[in-house]
């Protein structure tokens, strides 16, 4: 990477104080309170440091800004060939993530935790109905939501109608595919006609839309049954929303992380068959890690975002959160493809079922990360060992050397623009989180980012995309820690697909995950590789001790009540 330090900073040593922010407001035509100015100061100082970091990157005049990812990013992006996958043999099972005979596990307590492919077999064999599954999951949602705080709105009337239709169609021999009759949950940033879409934020609690999001429409066409709108951290940050903090089923003292908090918690706890989440900077990967489930962040542009809340036009993505890699593939097959209402979306082949020979793949791993000391490094190294045992060739790699964290200002600026009216109206005061690390403060501080600096960051992003394209030419996919290091932000900026899967537990019993990142639009090969790892380890089959925790909490509460005077 070539650098140029000549313009590293302009008066960058002068302190920024409240008076400076107040003067900047005059240029913006806005007025903040004294407390708001004081809260902004650390972020404004951090932004200035980011500008200095970005100015160390030499930008030739011809480098354009990467203002959106979609069909255009193929010009400098990598994309995998569909021919890399070999279809499964005729009649082969698609439930690869649960190799054990499902009939032996069909006890009442097992049914909520079965994967989509196995539930589909039971539905087609007539051993269970969609209405049975829907009523079971609705009961569990009511039973465990007081502990998890993962439900914003139950869509019970819609669910019962969709389940009844699915049963009638299956009895008549009309099969819509693997998701037909399977109950699911939607992150509450997806519009569903006739129900509130709150975005997890108090200012939007009564908000409704007169049409469904494209993902919701496509899942209905696939025969899936929508049970609930699930929680997200307000405006897609964190796990705290106007209804409380969404909890991890593995430890009710911990939040489920965010922002797809409810989607991950409900899937992990066996309250839905699968769910849909979204990711801008870790919102599928992080809660999937905290809740011990499998998540897929598809290539940017693979899935239409029409009808979903916009946080960042150039970084938002929608994807499935499931109990297995196989389930993620089945859901992606139903929701991907171009949509004229989302001009960044497009159709690329997704050949599934897919089988790959690991011995013929070149799989990278970020060497510096695996050599570091972080909480779950032993589990991550064990995943490398499993891949080697399965015959894969592992190659140490190094990620492109750019100031990745500084590029986070792209998200801040786009989010501030998305919620411009919220800031100007003062209704950002209605949000639950009002601290230093919260949207209201970030929105205000982002207004002070000069347009030139935002576009310079997007131009550095263009170079990053090109560098990742070159890296991916030499490997088929690579492994990295899910949340340690800057791979998470880097790949969200470049639009690469990633699958996150459970790979063990901490000494305290919390799940850990690892992330596999693939070439653009090469989800089939990526998922086929991840599925083999998952089948070889079985970590995804372990269930959270939610019932025991809930019972213990109820007993404690009852004891406290009895002891009260």
Give residue 84's pLDDT.
Answer: 60
Give residue 87's pLDDT.
Answer: 56
288 is catalytic: no
Domain positions in the chain are 18-65+403-453, 79-86+108-402+463-552
Give residue 548's pLDDT.
Answer: 79
Contact at 8 Å (CB) between 516 and 477? Answer: yes
The dihedrals phi and psi of 393, each to the nearest 5 degrees, come to -90, 120
Whole-angstrom distance, CA of residue 231 vs CA of residue 58: 42
Catalytic residue among 121, 129, 130, 187: 187
Q: What does the pLDDT look like over 305-336, one tens digit per residue?
A: 999 999 999 999 999 999 999 999 999 999 99
Which residues of the chain fall short of a pLDDT of 50? 1-10, 70-72, 74-75, 82-83, 88-107, 557-558, 560-562, 565
Give residue 83's pLDDT.
Answer: 43
The residue among 465, 516, 513 whose CA lies nearest residue 490 is 465
283 is catalytic: yes
Q: What does the pLDDT look like over 546-559, one tens digit per residue?
A: 977 877 765 554 45
Report field, pTM of the whole predicted structure over 0.85: yes
Contact at 8 Å (CB) between 285 and 498? Answer: yes
Contact at 8 Å (CB) between 278 and 316? Answer: yes
Query: Residue 252: which residues within 8 A CB-CB, separation 6 or more?
Result: 147, 148, 546, 549, 550, 553
Give residue 81's pLDDT.
Answer: 56
Catalytic residue among 130, 231, 259, 314: 259
Q: Domain 79-86+108-402+463-552 is of which CATH architecture?
A: Alpha-Beta Complex (3.90)
187 is catalytic: yes
C-alpha R_g of the chain? 24
Give residue 560's pLDDT.
Answer: 46
Catalytic residue among 97, 231, 278, 283: 283
Give residue 71's pLDDT.
Answer: 44
Whole-angstrom distance, CA of residue 230 vs CA of residue 263: 6
H-assigned helices in 102-223: 116-124, 130-148, 156-171, 214-221
Give residue 11's pLDDT.
Answer: 53
């Amino acid at each position: 990477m070539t650098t140029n330090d000549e313009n590293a900073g302009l008066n960058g040593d002068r302190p920024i104080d409240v008076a400076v922010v107040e003067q900047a407001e005059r240029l913006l035509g806005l007025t903040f309170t004294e407390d708001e100015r004081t809260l902004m100061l650390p972020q404004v100082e951090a932004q200035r440091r980011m500008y200095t970091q970005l100015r160390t990157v030499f930008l030739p005049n011809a480098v354009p800004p990467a203002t959106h990812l979609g069909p255009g990013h193929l010009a400098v992006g990598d994309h995998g060939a569909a021919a890399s996958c070999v279809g499964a043999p005729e009649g082969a099972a698609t439930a690869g993530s649960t190799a054990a005979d499902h009939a032996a596990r069909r006890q009442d307590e097992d049914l909520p935790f079965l994967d989509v492919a196995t539930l589909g077999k039971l539905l087609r064999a007539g051993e269970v109905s969609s209405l049975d599954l829907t009523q079971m999951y609705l009961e569990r949602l009511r039973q465990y939501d007081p502990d998890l705080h993962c439900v914003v709105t139950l869509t019970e009337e819609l669910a019962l109608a969709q389940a009844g239709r699915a049963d009638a169609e299956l009895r008549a021999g009309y099969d819509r595919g693997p998701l037909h009759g399977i109950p699911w949950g939607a992150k509450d940033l997806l519009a569903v006609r006739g129900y509130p879409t709150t975005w997890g934020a108090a200012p939007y609690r009564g908000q409704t839309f007169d049409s469904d999001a494209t993902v919701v429409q496509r899942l209905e066409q696939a025969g899936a049954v929508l049970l609930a709108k699930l929680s997200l951290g307000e405006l897609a940050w964190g796990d705290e929303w106007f209804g409380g903090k969404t909890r991890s089923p593995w430890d009710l003292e911990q939040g489920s992380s965010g922002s797809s908090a409810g989607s991950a918690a409900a899937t992990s706890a066996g309250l839905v068959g699968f769910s849909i989440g979204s990711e801008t900077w870790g919102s599928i990967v992080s809660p999937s890690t905290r809740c011990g489930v499998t998540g897929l962040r598809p290539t940017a542009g693979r899935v239409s975002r029409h009808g979903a809340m916009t946080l960042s036009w150039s970084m938002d993505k929608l994807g499935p959160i499931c109990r297995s890699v196989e389930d993620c593939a089945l859901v992606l097959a139903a929701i991907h493809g171009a949509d004229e209402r989302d001009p960044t979306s497009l159709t690329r082949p997704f050949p599934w079922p897919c089988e790959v020979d690991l011995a013929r793949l070149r799989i990278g791993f970020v060497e510096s990360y695996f050599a570091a000391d972080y909480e779950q490094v032993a589990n991550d190294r064990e995943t490398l060992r499993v891949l080697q045992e399965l015959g894969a060739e592992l190659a140490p790699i190094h990620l492109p050397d750019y100031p990745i964290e500084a590029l986070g200002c792209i998200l801040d600026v786009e989010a501030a623009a998305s919620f411009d009216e919220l800031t100007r109206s003062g209704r950002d005061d209605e949000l639950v989180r009002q601290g230093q690390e919260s949207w209201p403060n970030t929105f205000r501080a982002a207004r002070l980012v000069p347009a030139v600096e935002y576009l310079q960051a997007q131009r550095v992003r263009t170079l990053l995309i090109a560098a990742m394209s070159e890296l991916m030419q030499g490997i088929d996919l690579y492994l990295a820690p899910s949340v340690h290091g800057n791979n998470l932000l880097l790949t969200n900026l470049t639009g690469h697909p990633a699958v996150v899967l459970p790979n063990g537990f901490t000494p305290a019993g919390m799940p850990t995950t690892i992330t596999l990142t693939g070439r653009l639009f090469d989800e089939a090969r990526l998922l086929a590789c991840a599925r083999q790892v998952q089948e070889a380890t079985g970590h995804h089959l372990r269930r959270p001790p939610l019932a025991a925790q809930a019972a213990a909490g109820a007993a404690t509460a009852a004891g406290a009540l009895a002891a009260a005077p």
